[in-house]
Each structure stands twice: as C-alpha cells, then as structure tokens.
Amino acid sequence: MPKYIRLVPNILSTVRLVLACLFPFAPERLWVWLIIGSGGSDVLDGWIARRWQVQSRAGAILDGVADKLFILVALLTVAGAGKFSLWWLPLLLTRDLLVAFTAVYAASISSWESFNKMDVRWSGKLATAGQFLLLLVAVLFPAGIRFALWLAILFSVIAAADYGRLFILELRRRAEAKSSAQ
C-alpha cells in the first residue's frame, strides 16, 4: 500500500470542511454540485479508510465534524433561501443534538470513555443519507420537499433513539462493572 493512502481519507474530510465554508457564498446553481461533492467525499473517505485499514480515532472525529458542519451549514443556507422553514431544523437535527448532548453529559459525569465507545451505526448513516437526500430534493425537486423533510426527520429520530439506547446500555454496563468491582 502506498504511504499516501493513509492521508487520503483525512484529505477528503478536509475537502468537506472547505465545501461547508464555501456553500453559503456559492450561487444556488452550484449547490447541487457542492452537495454531491460533499456526499461523495463522505462515502469515499470511509470506503478508503476501511478498504486499506487506515482508520484512526482522529480521522473518525474529523469525518464526523466535517459531516455535521457541512450538513448544518447547507441546511441553514437552503432554509435561509426559503426552500423550507428554519423551524424544521431541530427535528432534522434530532440525532445530532442528542449526540452533542450525550457528549456533554458523558464528559460532565467523567464517563467520556462510554461515549467514546459509541461507533458509527447504520442508523447514523441513514440519518446522514436522509439529510443529504433532503438537500438534493430541496435544490432539484422543490415540489417533493415535504416528503423529503419527513423522511429525513424519521431517519434522524430513529438514529437518535438508537444512539441513545446504546449510550444508556453502555452506562448500565459501566455501573454494573463498577458495583461488581466493589
């Protein structure tokens, strides 16, 4: 394996960060290409990291931050352009808000390792796919926005429930291990 392959997933995640910064300033006619580029880089960086076994904790964090930042900026920009109401955002971001709350909570109770054990889940990938689909529908097929909004919200709520359940199970496991050690 060439040494440069180790860098490719993080470079692709960094490209997503750049696309997030460009999105609000790009003309609407370019939005679809920025969304496709961001979604494509997300799929490709994960595939390369798994294919060549170059996953790292830092890369996973960079990937997650790039995904969340692009999605947030794009949703805010598209909603700001009147494609859908800003009031939809809390529902669309249910999973992201729950994960952020969980991270703060885990850190506050000195249980960061419990949070850190939460791997990427199919439900999280589904929620991200739903958000990217919503963005594409908003830009390309505005008449289908209502369906895409509800689908993205459904996927986000499913992912929030899945991650919340996983974190609760990990906290219980940790508490049981602690009480059995005493």
pLDDT digits (tens, 9 = 90+) for 115-140: 666 677 899 999 999 999 999 999 99
* For residue 156, pLDDT beyond 80: yes
Confidence at residue 114, expressed as pLDDT on a 0 to 100 scale: 64
Confidence at residue 177, expressed as pLDDT on a 0 to 100 scale: 83
* For residue 91, pLDDT beyond 80: yes
* For residue 172, pLDDT beyond 90: no
* For residue 96, pLDDT beyond 70: yes
HSE-CB for 30 with a 13 A CA cutoff: 9
Residue ranges per domain, the chain? Answer: 1-82, 85-182
Distance CA(106)–CA(111), nearest Å, equals: 5
Confidence at residue 117, expressed as pLDDT on a 0 to 100 scale: 64
Distance CA(56)–CA(137), nearest Å, equals: 33
* For residue 35, pLDDT beyond 90: yes
Q: What is the pLDDT of residues 105-117, one digit of tens each?
A: 877 877 767 666 6
**171 burial type by CB count under 10 A (0-12 exposed, 13-18 middle, 19+ buried):** middle
**76 burial type by CB count under 10 A (0-12 exposed, 13-18 middle, 19+ buried):** middle
Q: What is the pLDDT of residues 59-89, one digit of tens each?
A: 888 998 999 999 999 999 999 999 999 999 9
Percent of the chain with pLDDT over 90: 60
Q: What is the pTM of this model?
A: 0.89
